[in-house]
Structure 1
Amino acid sequence: MTPNLARPGVLARQPIGDFRTEAGATIPEVTVAYQRWGSYRVDADGTSNVVLVEHALTGDSDAASWWGDLVGPNKAIDTDRYCVICTNVIGGCQGTTGPGSAHPADGRAWGSRFPAVSIRDQVEVEKQFLDSLGITSVFAVIGGSMGGARCLEWSYLHPEVVAAAAVFAVSARASAWQIGIQGAQIAAIENDPSWHGGDYYDTGTAPNAGLATARRIAHLTYRGELEIDERFGTTPQTGENPLGAHRSAGQRFAVESYLDYQARKLTARFDAGTYAVLTDSLNRHDIGRGRGGLNRALSEITVPTLVAGVDTDILYPYHQQEHLSRNLGNLLGMAKIVSPVGHDAFLTETRQMDRILRNFFEQVDPDAPGAAGQIEYYI
């Protein structure tokens, strides 16, 4: 069966039916938004050329935009060779069913009725999506941060489907520090007077002040301390004086203005309810839950897996990727992204990412073009 895929680069929505979450809630009539690039192919042995790219927390299905230097013809994730598919995650706000979607029962937004979802749920929805298209084989899953967590769960849950995985800047489970900092972001949203218990969609207002605060907190964990200090230091924002006789919200340091800018960008394109749902998904991430613990679960992953981390990552410190590399059942290798940028380096350090991904494909695809220069693996 040849799947009826959307035209390359076009946002499409695929109905997949009802979905039951890991915790026992039912989400009826789920729709998954996705984009694809490249032509679909299945080899004689049944192996497809599908590469699933998994987006991070505030990402979307347009991988050719947010990973534009890596996804495309003759690029590291080569759309002349592979059929690249990227879905918007369940709970999202870019076309997939989420808290802002219309509930089938009454046409009003799901709001507070939308169930909690786990990383495992995100993967199972994506598996149901592929099943609905008739895709039974995936050549590789690739992703960072929340996308990396999905890659790990894909490898554990469906090794019969996934042939290889590349996991960037994530851990085997959420640490207490991560849960704490992410819980503070959720609290910022839920304490906004416009939250209305999650049922704000028909009020004419949205908890954007809370979402903006959450983004400011989060962005500091996405970037490196050295990078932020070197860029801004204690410099005042142009035309403002944060050292005056009285503190004022209108008199900012340059770094505060920068964080305000990042907050405005997110609130213009993202839904607060989705941010709360997906951040909670990250807090629930634990590859070892119900599987005999972290190390046992990791050892049972037989899918060949590349792991890479960022040396200055505050949110998912490099030692967490080292833990993955020591315990995965089938490690291809481990790479270090060296950057002052911090966690976001898997999105911004495209030259290093290009080399890492080309080497990954060279290892898992015998017919792939040679890598552009070798990288050092830390095994």
Structure 2
Amino acid sequence: MTTDNDWAGDAKNASTDGEFVRDTNYINDRITADAPAGTPTEQADGTYHWPVEADRYRLMAARACPWAHRSIITRRLLGLEDVISLGLAGPTHDVRSWVFDLDPDGVDPVTGLHRLQEGYFNRFPDYPRGITVPALLEVSSKKVVTNDYPSIVRDFQTEWTQFHREGAPDLYPVEHRAEIDEIAKRVYTEVNNGVYRCGFAGSQDAYDDAYDRFWATMDWLEERLTTRRYLVGEHITFADIFLFVTLIRHDAVYYSHFKTSRNKISELPALWGYLRELFQLPGFGDTTDFTEVKQHYFIVHKEVNPTQIVPQGPDLSGLATPHGREALGGQPFADGVTLPGPVPAGEEVKNPEPFQQELFGIPAAR
């Protein structure tokens, strides 16, 4: 965690006057298979397309952040670890955002950056918006390429195909894309961002509205997943990854910290079985660090938790229990798809729970 004396002030997230509204303006450059080698190519809309190239880019992420987590899961499932390296920021930070304080000397070992902010300023010296993860950086220039998280994961699937591992899944099958996009949009607005609308609401009315909207969609998801194993089709898709990153944080953080406390996921039979199945798959549970997740929310969000006390609970060992979802038919991935291999050395979660160590063979915390 950040312990240096270079503190620029607490991060500010909560609304001061009512509804929380997320800034959704990002650096919309993309890395595409048809971009010519060399320098990026300017598009008609003023963005740039960068060429797909092994070892040129580094995924800057943080295990605490659900948006970054979805990119880590996708990278691992597709087997892109050997061509896109991973830099992991620590869970706590000041108003300047993410810091590489988990690494020796407090700097990212590949780029030498201390703060992710430096990578943004290297490209845009007066960058006015939030310094967010995930972000892809060009290693040689130490400049941010894009932080447009929807296109990052989508392009991992559709643009980086020449580097996918043998047996990689198709998380965005053409025949299901319209439905995946429709479900993912509702999951984003009402669930992924819905918990933040609850937690960062600046008035009772704004909170009440956010809470009602969140649970209306959660009830819809519970009903949908009662009769089908996955959100779309017979296999795991992006829709499931996008939902997983919020579900896995709910009981540990959002239930109390963001006041989404009608039910725990463990009290909702379909969602609880669904979450357990996903968690027990390589790529999902072996990329989840509950300690870092809790440290981020309960320490960084002083507006919501002024004491910065991090709870010891809840007991999450039930995630390792049998899920029984096989009864619904389908299977996690299509025939011929294989599970990813062991987590690359150095990328293991730093604070594995005992049940994670047993499930995935994760080494004990160093």
TM superposition score category, shorter chain reference: under 0.3
The structure richer in helix per residue is 2
Select the structure of larger CA radius of gyration.
Answer: 1
Q: Tell me: higher relative CO, structure 1 or 2? Use CA pairs within 8 A at least 6 residues apart.
A: 2
TM-score (norm 2): 0.28
TM-score (norm 1): 0.27
